[in-house]
Amino acid sequence: DAGVIQSPRHEVTEMGQEVTLRCKPISGHNSLFWYRQTMMRGLELLIYFNNNVPIDDSGMPEDRFSAKMPNASFSTLKIQPSEPRDSAVYFCASSLDRGLYEQYFGPGTRLTVT
C-alpha cells in the first residue's frame, strides 16, 4: 500500500527561480495538507484542501506561494520567485475526512534556495 508520494525529494535552486513541488495523496483520502518545517518555526500548515477545493490558505506566506489540486490524486505547491528564506522541508499529508487528526505524511521535499 503506497503512502503519500512527494517529488522531488531534494531541490536546490537559485534565488528568483520558480520551484514546483508535487504530491500524490493516498488513494481514497479526500483531504490534503501542505506543511513547511523549519528549525525556527517548526511545522506550519500552509494550505488545506478538501475534495480538491482549498479550504484554508491562511498559512500561505505570501503571493509568491500558490497551490493547486486539479484532481484527487495530485497536488502542486509552487513558489515563484523563490527566496533563500523559503529554504525548508515541505511536507504533504493526506487524511480521510472523519480521521482528520490522523494525517499521513509524505517523506518531504528538502528545498534549498541559494
Partner 1 sequence: QQQVKQSPQSLIVQKGGISIINCAYENTAFDYFPWYQQFPGKGPALLIAIRPDVSEKKEGRFTISFNKSAKQFSLHIMDSQPGDSATYFCALTLKQGAQKLVFGQGTRLTINP
- Chain residues binding partner 1 by CB under 8 A are 4, 33, 42-43, 45, 48, 55-56, 91, 93, 100-108
For residue 80, what is its C-alpha cell? Answer: 515563484
Shortest reach from residue 50's CB to partner 1, in Å: 8
In angstroms, rounded to a whole number, what is the distance separating the alpha carbons of residues 70 and 79?
A: 17
Compute the distance between CA of residue 12 and CA of residue 7 in angstroms, rounded to an integer: 13
Least distance between partner 1 and beta carbon 96 (Å): 12
User: What's the closest the beta carbon of residue 39 comes to partner 1, in angstroms?
Assistant: 10
- Residue 15 CB neighbours (<10 A): 12
Instruction: Pick between residue 81 and residue 107 the one whose CB is nearest to partner 1.
Output: 107
Query: Looking at 1-114, which runs of residues are DSSP E strands?
Result: 5-7, 10-13, 19-24, 31-38, 42-50, 53-56, 65-71, 74-79, 88-95, 104-105, 109-113
Shortest CB 103 distance to partner 1, Å = 6
